[in-house]
Amino acid sequence: MEKEEGASSTHVLVLPFPAQGHMNPLFQFSNRLVSKGLKVTLATTIFIAKTMKSHPGSLIVDPISDGFDDGGWAVAEDMNIYKERFEAVGSRTLAELVEKYSHDCPVKCLIYDSHIPWALDVAKKLGIVGASFFTQSCAVDLIYYNVSRGLLSTPVQGPTVTIPGLPLLEVNDLPSFVYYALGSYATHLSSVLSQFSNFEKADWLLVNTFDKLEDEVVQWMSKKWRIKTIGPTVPSMYLDKRMEGNTDYGINLFHLDTDPFVKWLNTKETSSVVYVSFGSLAELGEEQMEELAWGLKNSNSYFLWVVRASEETKLPSKFVEETSEKGMVVTWCPQLEVLAHRAVGCFMTHCGWNSTLEALSLGVPMVAMPQWTDQTTNGKFVVDIWEVGLRARVDEKGIVRREDIELCIKEVMEGDKGKEIKRNVKKWKELAKEAVDEGGSSDKNIEDFIAGLVCD
């Protein structure tokens, strides 16, 4: 990878929103900038810095206070209260951090998570470049944009929705905050819409996607805004091959010991294991958990299932003991390493944007079981647009039944539809790699971004 001349003296500060699904892409993008010769400082919150269990290599980490140093957003009453305090305290502590470097190595650019829009005001006040980093898909960003500008009103009237730049969507393909837009979802909605409060004033709009993946919507958005696709942020060493034994997976906010997973996977045949995870936030109801457990068992496949510690009590009693021959239930795992392992043949996923990009980039077919937020829209694209997975169907009670789980897994692992899905996902994997390889669309965009900073 070529290093831009003058890059080493260009200092970039990166501010992620303090949640796993936001930390990972911004951390991975930071590493990419480091590999291109930039000096990068990751500004996490104090609470996250205390929680981080693995160290992010050579990247500098310098924490700021968000006003919740002892618990982060989880201890705030709701997301809007968290965000208000983060803005009040963070505007000051972020400015102090930039000032701290002003003599030795002044910060030239602030790359901030689009969910922290006030960071742009800090950048403007201090006279540095502001780049908004969107961690979700262009499709989801465009839907939220339409809502923020009153072009799509909530609650949305069905059964379908037409949004310029996007395929025809059914109302329940929309992000759940848009679809329901009531109670706590209304609070979440106003929080995600804040991404668009000032984004037109940002110097750069970086999105964790790649051109070919969201061809139509990227083209549509590019006519209006200077967006730069820079994804997938999945580290290139994972894209090069499906491998064993690599432990450089990124930031983990949960306890992690990689050895047992890898050892277990190493004993399994190629493409024989179903990997199951619902990310860092989604909570399943007890009934859903039970259906999932027996669906997995009945599929008769090997499975590696991530059940976060906070969810463990919902597992059916004796399930772990009764299935120990076939399955491994863990509270967290190095997901990139697992998805890159040759033994994994299917990913039963909640369709978080990172999980979706990771599976697609590593060529792993999916069973989509979206839960909330942007996952419903991602699930639509996984199944109907990219055709890299099957959708597990919910019944009238909103539950995916064990029979359907078993059926979807068997179809993806062994069925005719599964063969087609495997061909498709292989194609997307190659296109993802092409985008980030030297000279690819995302790589060129990153080079342009760096050149802009260096020449500035």
CB 332 within 8 A of CB 256: yes
72 makes contact with ligand UDX (CB under 6 A): no
Q: How far is the CB of 144 from ligand UDX (least distance, A)?
A: 12
Phi, psi of 18 (to 5 degrees): -80, 65
Query: In terms of CB distance, is 355 or 445 closer to ligand UDX?
Result: 355
Whether the bond into 63 is cis, omega within 30 of 0: no
Please state the closest distance from residue 412 (CB atom) to ligand UDX, in A: 19
> Is 327 among the residues that bind ligand UDX (CB under 6 A)?
no
CB of 259 to ligand UDX, least distance (A): 15
d(CA 20, CA 15): 13
281 belongs to the binding site for ligand UDX (CB under 6 A): yes
Q: Is residue 55 among the annotated active site residues?
A: no
Question: Please, what is the minimum distance in Å from the beta carbon of residue 231 to ligand UDX?
Answer: 12
Residue 31 lies near ligand UDX (rule: CB under 6 A): no
Q: Which parts of 348-407 interact with ligand UDX (CB under 6 A)? A: 352-355, 358, 373-375
306 binds ligand UDX (CB under 6 A): yes
From 346, 267, 358, select the one nearest 301 (Cα to Cα).
346
> Which residues, in sequence order, are CB contacts of 109 under 8 Å at separation 6+?
10, 12, 13, 123, 128, 129, 130, 131, 203, 453
| Rounded least distance, CB 209 to ligand UDX, Å | 11
Nearest to 65 by CA among 98, 99, 90: 90
What is the DSSP annotation of 27-46? HHHHHHHHHTT-EEEE--BH
Residues 143 and 171: their CA atoms lie apart, in Å, by: 12
The verdict on whether 113 is a catalytic residue reads yes
Return the number of the residue (332 or 428) whose C-beta is nearest ligand UDX: 332
Active-site annotation holder among 22, 115, 188, 350: 22
Kindly report the backbone phi and psi dihedral angles of residue 280, in degrees, each rounded to the nearest multiple of 5, phi listed first: -95, -10
Question: Among residues 61, 63, 117, which one has the least CA distance to residue 93?
Answer: 63
Best CA proximity match to 299, nearest among 177, 380, 414, 130 = 414
Q: By CB under 6 A, which span of 36-44, 78-86, 238-246, 326-334 interacts with ligand UDX?
A: 326-334
Residue 21 interacting with ligand UDX (CB under 6 A): yes
Catalytic residue among 66, 113, 203, 374: 113
Binding site for ligand UDX (CB under 6 A): 20-21, 24, 135-136, 252, 277, 279-282, 306, 332-336, 352-355, 358, 373-375
Catalytic residue numbers read 22, 113
